[in-house]
Structures are given as structure tokens and as C-alpha cells.
Amino acid sequence: MYKSNYLAFDIGASSGRAILGTLSGNRVELTEIHRFTNEMTYRDGHYHWDIYHLFDELKAGLKKCIHDFGVIPDSIGIDTWGVDFGLLDENNEIIGWPFAYRDSITDNSMEEVFEIIEPFELYKITGIQFMKFNSLFQLWAIKKEYPEIIDKAEKLLFMPDLLGFMFTGKCWSERTIASTSQLIDPESGEWLTGLMDKLELPSGLMQEIVEPGTVIGKIKPEISRELDCPQIPLVASCEHDTASAIASIPARGGEWVYISSGTWSLMGLELSHPVLNKPAYEGPFTNEGGFAGTTRFLKNITGLWLLQECKKKWDRNGSVSYPELVKMSLEAPAFRSMVDPDHPDFMNPEDMESAIKGYCKNTGQPVPGSVAEVTRCIFESLAMKYRYTLEMLLKASPGEPDRLHIIGGGTQNRILCQYAANATGLKVIAGPAEGAALGNILVQAHASGKVNGIGRMREISGSSVDTMVYNPEDGQLWHQQYLRWKNIILG
């Protein structure tokens, strides 16, 4: 049976990987080729992404695929987190390093923009949840603080587009990644040039929007020579990692909710149209692009970032693995202390553990003392936030979902998956863990003509990955504790 091979570069805010997908019949076999770290770099008073380090790692992944694993992929595709971007000058040279979304440059941007356009009016135009690091506010902040950068800029490319440009020399904006920017009309899918003009932002920087599954072109000859490989085509997959992950959900029929679980937990519904009503604004929920013209109606929830940051500190006193943390959490008392994962104190603190303890103290709760207690606090708090978000989702877009699909790295945390089922009252289906990479690969397969449409993509996903089912337990207890948690976070 003929096999097709596709290489997905899936880059998150803390790590990246090159995953080879081999399609044969009704299955995709995934092979990890290369894994690397990705961390914000503090430089010249700001947090940035080292775009050159990332590109070197992608080249290393492609070289390993060909020379160590003996596979020349039919195509490559890149997906990353959203909102962040780089700028090119008139010579197509990258201007500095891209700002990282957790940098403080945007601290006052939302309030300054709201002085020009009222928040609900801006929401009706953009359909995007207000977060201070959205591309709109980043561009505003850079124009204000570093006008010389904007004066030099000729093109704006989002992170996967920028890395793709470094491979191919071509410039574009793939729809799903561009839709995270708060600069696109959620109805028409076109750039909001009128809004940008009103805010005196340079709309001429924006590139042509292409649909996921577009073949962009082949890697440059000099890259081909450097890696000793053919000029392999690059496909604009679903370049936002969440859009790729959702494309991989093995869902068939009925109504369902999803959580893409990792550094962030993105919880939402797949819809045929954007939702721009008052409950959506108050949620707040975002309307981002998905595969085949769908809308990802979702909320960004701070996810396992809290645990990742605590673990960095704990590892300085001796390495502790994530499975060990999960096991330890079961030894701590249940529902002793809970937090709102989205509280501003947890955005980018110097010491996450201290921030969590400070929140608990300030809200009159017992302060978690041990590693186990802090870890359990994080897991239970995340599950409560899922319940709260589900209620708000269904207020904005009524429905009767009968299950919750969890995808991404968080699927490997069985305790968090069980807590999600307990808190929401929904059956949880967990998997695939490498959802973003699998979705990226399936979109590449669609572009090559080997897979036709989202239904077939999800059928193949269901045949290719093992999933775990978690049924709700202790419903009355979790409901009582949920009411207590709401009282804590709402004051």
C-alpha cells in the first residue's frame, strides 16, 4: 500500500517538535523526529522570541527526518501559538526579534485603544476576546514606543508565516493564525483596514490571506543545499496550533465541546458562524477561524502554565516529573484552596508558587504549603474554570453538548481529565495528545489530495489514536465546591 509522508513542525510557547506523519489507508502513524525547548528571551528590556533559534531547530528537524530517519516528506507545515508576529523591512530583512506576548509593552494598550473606540463596539467589529497581548494591542504599543520600527516595516508576518518565509522567501497570512490578531472581520474574513486606519495603524503591512491547505511553494535552493535535500513544498496548514488540534478531534455527530489543553486551555465550540452578541462579549469569548470556513468560538483560559512555572522553581531543588506531581497531588486534601487561573497575578510572575499562595491568603483561604497541595490547587481550580466557562459558552450559543473532547498534552494528565468530567458533568474523551501535530499533518494530506475534507480527516484521526473516556463522578460534591469556588473568584 502506498504511503504518504508529511512533516509537521508544532511549536508551543514552551517547546517545539518535528513530528512525521505517515499516512497509509485509514491510519496515520506519528513519529517524533526532533524536540526542542522554546523560551522567551529577555533582551534590551523586553521579552522576545529568538526567531533564528527556532528556524535552526526546524532545519535540524527536517535534516534529521531525511538523513537520520531516511524519509523525504511530501511536504512540511508549521503551526504555532497565536498573536505574535515579526516585521520585515523593504529588503525583506527581519527587524529585530518578535516581541513575546507576555512582555509588558502592552500593559496600557487596551485602555488607550478604548479611549478611541468603545469596547463593545470593538468586539462587534472584531469578535475577539480582549487580552492585552492581542496583535492589535501589540502593534499599537510598538507604534507608540518604537515608531522607528514601524517606520522601517514593510510587511507583518505572524510567527508560522515568518518561519515559512525563512524557508521559502514567500509572504502570506494563513487565515487561522491571522484570525487571532483582532485585525480581521469575523464575518468576511478580510483585514479590518478601516479599523486600522481609525487607530492610525499601518494597514499596508498586512499580507494576502490564504486558506489552510494552500500549497505556498518550495523551500529555497540555498536551504535545500544546506540540508542536502530536495526542494520540498511547504503547505500553509492550520497554522494556529489550536485550529490544527481541533481539526484532529475524532468527533462524529452530535453536539460537543472541546478543550485544547496545554500551556493554555482553549475551550469552545466549533460553529458555522461567529457569535457577536452581548453574552459572547461578556464571556468573554473569541471568534477565530477554523478549517473549512468554520468558527472556533472559544475562550482562552490560563492552563498548565501555572504548573509549568511552579515546576521550574521546584526543579531547582531536585527534578520532579509531571507524572510524579500528578501522583503527589492525590495525597493532598481535596478542595482546600482554589484560585482563578486567569487572575492577572498569574500572567507572568517572578515566582508562580508565591503568587498562588498570595492569592489564597488574600481570599481568606488556607495557604497551600507543600508541592502536593499547590499542584492539587491548580488542577481543581482549572476544572472549576472549565465548568464556569461551559456555562458562559452555552449562554452565548445555546446547545446541549453530550461530551467534552480534550486534546493536546493535557490529555496525559488523567487526574485533570477526571476532574474536568466531574466539574462539567460531561463525559470526557481524551486524545489525541499530539492533536496540533496530527491536525497539521491531516491538513497537509488534504492539500495533497490524499484526504478529502474534515469528515475524512476526523475519521482517520479516530482510527489512528487511542482515546481515554472519563465519566463524571461525585457530582453533588463537585457542584457544592463549584459554588464555593465561584464565591471565591467573584468576591
How do residues 59-95 score in pLDDT, each as one tens digit?
Answer: 999 999 999 999 999 999 999 999 999 999 999 999 9
Q: Does domain 249-431+452-491 have CATH number 3.40.640.10?
A: no
Long-range contacts of 146-149 (CB under 8 A, 24+ apart): 149/87, 149/95, 149/96
Q: Decide if 402 is catalytic.
A: no
- Per-residue burial over 48-66, b = 16 or more CB atoms within 10 Å of its CB, e = otherwise: bbbbeebbebbbebbbbbb
Between CA 313 and CA 319 the distance in angstroms is: 10
- Per-residue burial over 339-370, b = 16 or more CB atoms within 10 Å of its CB, e = otherwise: bbbbeeebbbeeebbebbbebbeebebebbee
What is residue 182's DSSP assignment? S
* pLDDT confidence of residue 2: 72
CB 460 within 8 A of CB 451: yes
* pLDDT confidence of residue 330: 97
All 3 cell numbers of residue 343?
487572575
CB 135 within 8 A of CB 205: no
Q: Where are the domains of the chain?
A: 4-241, 249-431+452-491
All 3 cell numbers of residue 32?
517524533
* pLDDT confidence of residue 1: 56
Distance of CA 338 to the CA centre of its chain: 24
Mean pLDDT of successive 10-residue stretches along the chain, which has 491 residues: 91 94 97 96 96 98 98 98 98 97 96 98 97 97 97 98 98 98 97 98 98 98 98 98 96 94 95 96 96 96 96 94 97 98 95 98 97 98 98 96 96 97 98 96 98 96 96 98 96 79
* pLDDT confidence of residue 193: 98
For 465, the 3-state DSSP assignment is: coil
CATH of domain 4-241: 3.30.420.40
Question: Hey, which residues does 156 pair with through a beta bridge?
Answer: 87
Between CA 38 and CA 309 the distance in angstroms is: 14
Consecutive H or E run containing 287: strand 286-289
* pLDDT confidence of residue 284: 94
Q: Which of 79, 84, 241, 342 is catalytic?
A: 241
What is residue 303's DSSP assignment? -
Q: Do domains 4-241 and 249-431+452-491 have the same CATH topology?
A: yes
CB 137 within 8 A of CB 110: yes
Half-sphere exposure of 374 (CA within 13 A, CB side): 22
Distance of CA 257 to the CA centre of its chain: 16
